[in-house]
Structure 1
C-alpha cells in the first residue's frame, strides 16, 4: 500500500507540472501533443494503481465475511484477537478507499486537461486558417531589403558550412556521400531486378488488361517514391552520423529534400496514370500531347508547393520578418491557383471529328473553383488558408489518387479468374499445381492485404497534412494496444488481431503436424488407412479447438464470460440444433468405435459404395457410379450398415446359372466346379462349392459359390467365370434355356362363318395384289375364297 501511495503522490506532482506547461505551450501544437501523450500515460498508471488494489480488497472482504457480524448489544463480546483483526481490516479497507478516491479524482482532472488540450489545438488550427493579414503592410520598401538580407544570410550560412566541410569534414563527407550513393545504387538496380515486373511497362503489349495497367500504375508510383524517401532520409541520417551537418544546415537540407520528394512523387503519379510515352498503358484515354502537358503542369504545381514549404523553413531558420513570409506564401498561392486553372483549361480528349475536347464539366469547374478560390483567398489576405488549400490539393490529392488506384487494382485482382492471369498467379499455378478456385481465394487474400497496405502507408501521411502530429498517431496506437471499455466489456483491437494471428498459426501448425504424422510416421509404420484417417481427423479437430482456446485467451477474452454463450447454445440445441448435435456425437462415436473406416465398402440403406472421409457431422461415400453421397452420421448410427471389408477383404460371391431339363446334372456339377477351381483369384480354402439350387419351370438352377481374398474383385471374377461357363457348355452341348411362354390367341367370327381378323387380312391382301397388278399393267389375279374351318 505504501508503494501505491507514493506512486499516486508522484503522479499528482507530474500532473501539476503538466498543467503549468499547458499554459506555456498554448501556441505550440507539437508541444501540446507531447503533453497529451504524458497525460495519457498518467491516466494509464492511475488505472493500473486501481487494478492493483482489487486483489487486496477481495481478500479483506472475504476475511470480514468469514469473521461475521460483530456481536450486538446484550450478547457476549467476541474474543479480543478477532476484534483486533476486524478493526485492522476495516482500517486498511478505509485507507485503500481513500487512495482509490484520490486516484479517481486525479483521473477526472487528467481527462479535463486532455479535453483542454484538444480545445487549444482546435483553436490553433482554426486561427491559422482564418487569420487575415494586411497585404498593404507587407508590400513596402522594407520587404525588398528584407528579402535581399535573407538571401544574403542564406548564402553566407551555406558558404560557411561548405568551407567548414572542406577544411575539417572532407573525408566524412566523402564517406557519407559514398554510402548514400551506394544505397541509391543498390535500391536502383536491386529494385529494378526484384520489382521490375511490377513497375516496368511492356512495350510489346498492344492491349494490356485493365488489371495490368492499374497494377503497374500503382506500383510504379509507390515503389520508386518509397525508394526516393529512403534515399533522401538515409542521406540526412548518414550526414548526421558523421557529424557533417550543423543544426541550421540540417533543417535546410531536410526542407530541400522535401521539395525533391514531393516533386518526384507527383511526377511518378502523373506519369503512371497518363503514361505519355506509351498510350496503350494509360488509365485515362487522352491525347499524347495533352498527357505530356498535364505531367509538366502537375509536376510544376508540386514543385511550387514544395518550394513554398522550403522557403517557410528558411524564414523560420533565419528568423526572417513576417512580411517576407507573407509575400512568399502569397506568390506561391497565386501561382498554384493559376496552374490549377491551366490544368482545368487543357483539352485532353478528341471528339468524333478529331477536334480537341475539354474535361468533363464537373471536373473542369471544380478545378476552376479551387484555383480561383485560392487566388481570391490570397488576395484578400487569407494567405494561410490559401497556402493550406494549395498543399492539400497537391499532396493530399496525390496521396488519395495513388491510394484510389491501389484500391481499384485490389478490387480488380479479386475478380474471378483475374489473379490466375497475373505473373504471381501463373507462377503459383505452375509451381504448386493450384486449382483455379484456390487461385481465386488467393486473389481475395491479396485484395485484403493490398487494402491493409494502402491504409497503413497512406493514412498517416494524409493525417499529417491535415494538422495531426505523430504524437496523435502514437496515442491512437496506444489505445489500440491497451484497448478501451464499452460498458463492462474491455475491447482491444490489437489483442483481437493477436488472437486471430495465434489461431491462424495454431491452425497451420496443426495441419503440418497432421501431414507429418500421417506421411512420415504412420505411413512408414504400415498403419491401416482407416486408422490413419481416424487419427488424423481427431488430431485435426483437437488442434483446431486448442488453437481456438489459445487464440481467445490471447485476444484478452475471459473464458468465463463464455458461460452465457454456452447457456444460449444449449438453449438453441434444445430447440433447433438436435440434428446437428446428434450428427456430431454420432461422428465422435464412429471415430471411436470404427465400425467402418475410410476405404471400406459399405451398404447403408439404398447407398452402396466406398467410404472416402469420416467427419464429425457426416460421412462421405463414393458409389461405384462415382457419385459422392454425404450421409449424416446419425443415420449410420441408428440404421443397419453392411460392411464388406470390416476386418478383412475376404468375401464370397454367388453366380447363378440354369441348364435345360434333361441335362446331365452330374456333368453340369463337375464342369461348374472345375471352372470355379481353375480361376486364379478364387481361394482354395474355403474351397469353391456348386449348389444344385432348385427345379425351375424352364431350367434346372445351379449356383456357383466362391471365396475371394479381395471382395472388391468380385465383378472381375464373376465376369470371367460366366465367360468360362458359356464356352464350357458349348463344348459339352449343355443348353442354357430361355424362359418358355405359351400364348393363346382368341378371335371372334362373323355371321357368315368367316373370322373377322381373317376378313381384314384377306381384304388387305387383295388390295396389295391389285396395286401390284396395276403397277405392272396386268389384270389383278382373283383369289378364291375358302370357307375356314370352324375349329
Structure 2
C-alpha cells in the first residue's frame, strides 16, 4: 500500500509540475499580439495562400461537402420512414439509431473545419486589417491574399451553418421518435377490449378454423421438408447437436464438481451458491446454443419459410426461457435436495413453490407462442383476446396460490416471507382484475414480466450473493479455483484473498452488465436503446463543463498497467542481465533499479492520462490546490521525497552498507523516496525518514569499501616487562589470517594507568563486517599467551589515606582524662608492638566543624 501511495504522489507532483509549466508558458506569451502588418514576402505569401490556406481549406471543403449533402438526403428518407412506421416500435428504433449515426457524422464534419479556421484566422491576424485613409497602400499580393482568405472563411462558415441546421433537425426527429414510442407503449397497456365478444360462440368457431389452418400450414411445411430438404434438415440438426454436445462435455469437464449436488452432504453456503449457479447456467446455455444453432442452420439451408420461421423462433425462445426458469427454481428451492437449498424453507413448501413457478412459466410461454401464431395466421382479434384472457387469468390464479403458501423454516422456526406472500397475492389479483376488466395488454405485460423479469432478477440476486460470499475472508481459498491457483503458482493465502476480492468485483460488474440490459429488454426497450445509452455512457459523460469518456479512462488505465509491467520487466532485465553481468555494486544496482522504476511509472502515468483524453491544462485549479496542500500540510512528506531523490542520486550510502545514524546502527536494506529501511543487528527493522538522514550526521562503515580498523585495549600489572608484552601482542595480531599485512598491525603503549600498564592493538581488516569474530580470536589468543607466560591482568586498585591525630591503644584510660582533647577530625589508635597503623574514622562532634585542608588532595571523612 505504501508503494502505491508513493507512486500516486509521484504522479501528482509530475501533474502539478506539468500544469505549472503550462501556466508559466501561457503567462510568458504576449496577451495582445501586435496587429500591425508585418512586411510580407511575395513568394511566401503566395505559397501560404495557395497551399496552406487556399489549398488546405479547399481540400477540407471538398471532403466535407459531399458528406453533408449525403446526410441531408438520408435525413429526408428517415423522416418519410418515421411517418410511415409510426406504429412499429422496432422500425422506430432502427430509424433512431440511423439518425444518431448521422448526428455523429455532422458533428465530425463540423469539428474537421476547426483547424482550418484557426489557421485562416491566425493568418488574417498576421496580415492585419486593410490600411485606412491617409495611410500608405499595401502591396497588391497582400490584398489578394486577404480577400482569398476571407472568401475561404465565408465558404467554410456557410457549410458549418448547414451542418448546424442539419444537427438541429436530426435532434428534433429523434425527440419525435421518442414521443411516438412512449405513446405507442402507453396505448398498448392502457387500451381496453370488449371481452364479451371474445367469450361468444363465434370465438369457438374461429378457434376451430384457426386450428385447421395451423395444421394445414404445418403439414404443408413438413411435406416440403421431407420431399426436398430432408438431408439438409438432418445435417443441420446433427450439427446443432454436435455443438451443444461439445459445450456440454466441456462444461462437465471444467465445472463438473460445481454442477453436481451430492446427496447427504453438508455443503457451505458458497458451495450451494456455486452449484446453483453452474447447474442453472451451463444446461441453459447448452440448450440455448442448440436452439440457436438449429434455427440458424435451418435458415441458412433454406429449410424455413417466413411464417414457419416466425413461429419456430417464438417457440425456441419460450422453450429456452421455460427451461431456464425450471432449472433456477430447482436450484434455489431444491425440492428433492434439502441440503443444497438456497431458500431456508421446509420441503413441502419448496415443492409447492417449485411447481407453481414452473407452471406459471409454461402458461406465460404458451400465451407468447400462441400470440405469435395468431399474428402470423391473421387470426381474428376476438380469438387473440380470448386466448390472452384465459392465459392471464390462469397466471393470476397460480400467483394467488403461490401467495397462499406459508413456508416455514426447515428447523421448525417461525413463519417467514410474509412480504413475499402479500406481493404474490397482489400481483395475482391485479393480473386477474386487469384481464377481467378488459385491459388485456396490461395483464399480458404483467404476466410476462412476473415470469421473465422475476427469473432474471432472481439470477442477479444469486449472482450478488455469490460475489459477496467470494469476497469473504478465506472463502476464495477454499474454492476449486483457489486451490488450483495455490497448487499451480504457490500463492499465499493473502494473495488468494485479494484475488477473491477481484473476482467478487468482476462478478458484480458481470451481473449488472448482463442482467440490467435483459431487464430493460423485457420492459419495452430495444437493443438500439441499450446500445445507444451504452455508447453515450462510454464515450461522453459531462459533469458541469468537464467531459470525459469511460472508454478513454479504461484505455488509460490499461495503458498505465501495461507501462507498469513493462517497467517491472525492464527493471528485472536491467538488474539481472545487464548490471549483474557487469559486476555492478549491489547498492548502485538498487539505486538504478529504483530510479528506473519511478521514472517508468511516472511515464506510464503521463501516457495513461494522455490516452484517457484528460487535458492537463483543465486541472490547473486542482494543481493549485494540491500545491497549497503540499506547501502547508505535506511539507514533511515532500521533504522526505526530495531527500530520497538526493540519497538515490548522491548515494552517501547504499543498500548493504553498515551505517550509524544517531542511536540506530545496522545494515541498509532498502532506500525509497520516502524512507530508508535499516536492519539492526538484533534483526529489528527501523524505518528512518530520509530527511533525518540528510540533515543529521550519518556514519558509514562501508562507504567506499569494507576496509576498517579494529582497536583492542589490554592492561598488564605493574612490574611486567612492557617490551615483552609489546612483542607478544604484535605477534598475536600478525598471526591472525584475516588481519591485513598492509597496513601492518601496530601495538600502542597507551598509558600508565592507575592499576595497570595500558596497551592498545590496532589492526586493519579487509571486511570490517567480520570484526567481531576477529576480535574474539585475538582476545582468546591474548588470554592463552598471558596465562602461559604468567602475565597478570590486574584488578583496578586505589589507596585511601586518612589524615588526623593518632591514639595509642596501650595508653591508660585514666590518662586520657587528663590529656588535652584531640583534634575533632579523627582519632587514631595503634595496636600492639610491630602492628601496622590503621586509620579508624571517628565521627567529629556535631558542634565542631569539619576541618578542611586545602592542600590535601585525599578524601576527608
Report the TM-score, using the length of structure 2 for normalisation: 0.82
1:13 aligns with 2:73: yes
Structure 1 residue 646 displacement after superposition: 1.9
User: Which region of structure 1 is more displaced relative to structure 2, 301-310 or 93-102?
Assistant: 93-102
Distance 1:148 1:296 in 2: 31
In the TM superposition, residue 351 of structure 1 has moved relative to its aligned partner by 8.2
CA displacement, residues 58-110 of structure 1 (integer Å, 9 cap, x when unaligned): 11111111111222223333333222322222222222222222221221121
| 1:92 pairs with one of 141, 152, 156 | 152
CA contact (8 A) 2:406 2:421 kept: no
Shift of 1:467: 0.7
Matching of residue 155 in structure 1 with residue 215 in structure 2: yes
1:534 match: 591
1:270 is the counterpart of 2:367:
no
Paired residues for 1:497-646 under 5 Å: 497-646=554-703
Task: Report the aligned-residue RMSD.
Answer: 2.6
Secondary structure of 2:794 counterpart = coil
Aligned to 1:773: none
- 1:460 alignment partner in structure 2: 517
Is 1:134 equivalent to 2:191 in the alignment?
no
Q: Is the CA contact 1:346–1:358 (under 8 Å) kept in the aligned structure 2?
A: no
Q: How far apart, in 2, do the equivalents of 1:525 and 1:271 lie?
A: 67
Q: 1:318 aligns with which of 367, 377, 382?
A: 377
Q: Which residue in 2 is equivalent to 1:780?
A: none
> Looking at both structures, which has the greater relative contact order when contacts are Cα pairs under 8 Å and sequence separation is at least 6?
2
Task: Tell me how far 1:517 sits from its aligned partner.
Answer: 2.8
Post-superposition Cα deviations, 1:545-604, rounded to whole Å, max 9, x if no partner, equal: 222122122212234445555454444444444333333333223222322221111222
Stretch of structure 1 that moved more, 420-429 or 105-114: 420-429
Give the structure 2 partner of residue 281 of structure 1.
Answer: 340
C-alpha deviation, 1:743, in angstroms: 9.0
Does the CA contact (< 8 Å) of 2:656 and 2:668 recur in 1? Answer: yes
Q: What is the distance in 2 between the residues matched to 1:416 and 1:337?
A: 44
Q: 1:179: how far off? A: 1.2
Structure 1 residues 157 and 663: alpha-carbon distance in aligned structure 2, compared to 1, 3 A threshold: farther
Residue 51 of structure 1 and its aligned partner are, at CA, apart by 0.7
Question: 140-149 or 394-403: which moved more?
Answer: 140-149
Q: 1:726 to 1:476 in 2, by over 3 A?
A: same
Output the CA distance in 2 between the equivalents of 1:276 and 1:573. 64
In structure 1, what is the Cα distance between the partners aligned to 2:698 and 2:263? 66
Contact 1:262 1:303 in 2 (8 A): no
Q: Given the alignment, which residue of 240, 246, 249 partners 2:308?
A: 249
1:40 deviation in Å?
0.7
CA gap of 1:239–1:659, structure 2 versus 1, over 3 A, is farther
Instruction: State the alpha-carbon separation in 2 of the partners of residues 689 and 227 from structure 1.
Output: 89
5 Å-filtered alignment, 1:316-715, equals 316-349=375-408, 359-486=416-543, 488-715=545-772
Tell me the CA shift for residue 4 of structure 1: 2.4
The 5 Å alignment of 1:228-247 reads 228-247=287-306
1:654 alignment partner, SS class? strand
Checking the alignment, whether the CA contact within 8 Å between 1:406 and 1:450 is kept in structure 2 is: yes
C-alpha distance in 2, partners of 1:518/1:537? 10
In the other structure, the counterpart of 2:180 is 120
Paired position in structure 1 for 2:848: none
Alignment partner of 2:271 out of 212, 219, 225: 212
SS at match of 1:349: coil
Provide the aligned length of Structure 1 versus Structure 2.
748
- Alpha-carbon distance in 1 for matches of 2:591, 2:287: 57
- Structure 2 portions without partners, runs of 5+: 1-60, 803-812, 814-839, 844-861
- TM-score, scaled to structure 1: 0.89
How much has 1:450 moved relative to structure 2? 0.8
User: Kindly tell me: are residues 253 and 642 of structure 1, through their superposed partners in 2, closer, same or farther at Cα, counting changes over 3 Å?
Assistant: same
Residues 558/257 of structure 1: CA separation in 2 closer, same or farther (3 Å cut): same
Change in 2 beyond 3 A, CA 1:667/1:406: farther
Return closer, same or farther for 1:742/1:430 CA change in 2, 3 Å cut-off: farther
State yes or no: 1:69 paired with 2:126.
no
- Structure 2 counterpart of 1:191, from 236, 251, 254: 251
Between the aligned partners of 1:267 and 1:468, the Cα distance in structure 2 is 26
Q: CA deviation at 1:468?
A: 0.7
The superposition leaves residues 161-214 of structure 1 with CA deviations (integer Å, 9 ceiling, x where unpaired) of 2222222112111211111111121111210111223333344642x2222222
For 1:574 and 1:99, how far apart are their aligned partners in 2?
52
Q: Is the 8 A contact 1:346 1:359 kept in 2?
A: no
Map of 2:104 onto structure 1: 44
1:84–1:222 Cα change, 3 Å: same
Question: By how many angstroms is 1:618 displaced?
Answer: 2.1
Per-residue deviation at 1:54?
0.7
Q: Deviations over 1:650-689 (max 9, x none)?
A: 2222222333333333343344333333333333333333
Instruction: Give per-residue Cα distances to partners, 1:408-453, cap 9 Å, x unaligned.
Output: 2212222222222222223323332323332222122111111111
Judging changes above 3 Å, is the alpha-carbon distance between structure 1 residues 135 and 685 closer, same or farther for their aligned structure 2 residues?
A: same
Once residues 261 and 523 of structure 2 are traced to their aligned partners in structure 1, the CA distance between those partners, rounded to angstroms, is 34
State the Cα distance separating 1:372 from its structure 2 match: 0.9
SS in 1 for 2:113: helix
- SS of equivalent residue, structure 2 residue 290: helix
Quick one: distance in 2 between partners of 1:222 and 1:740?
A: 93
In structure 2, what is the Cα distance between the partners aligned to 1:716 and 1:204? Answer: 67
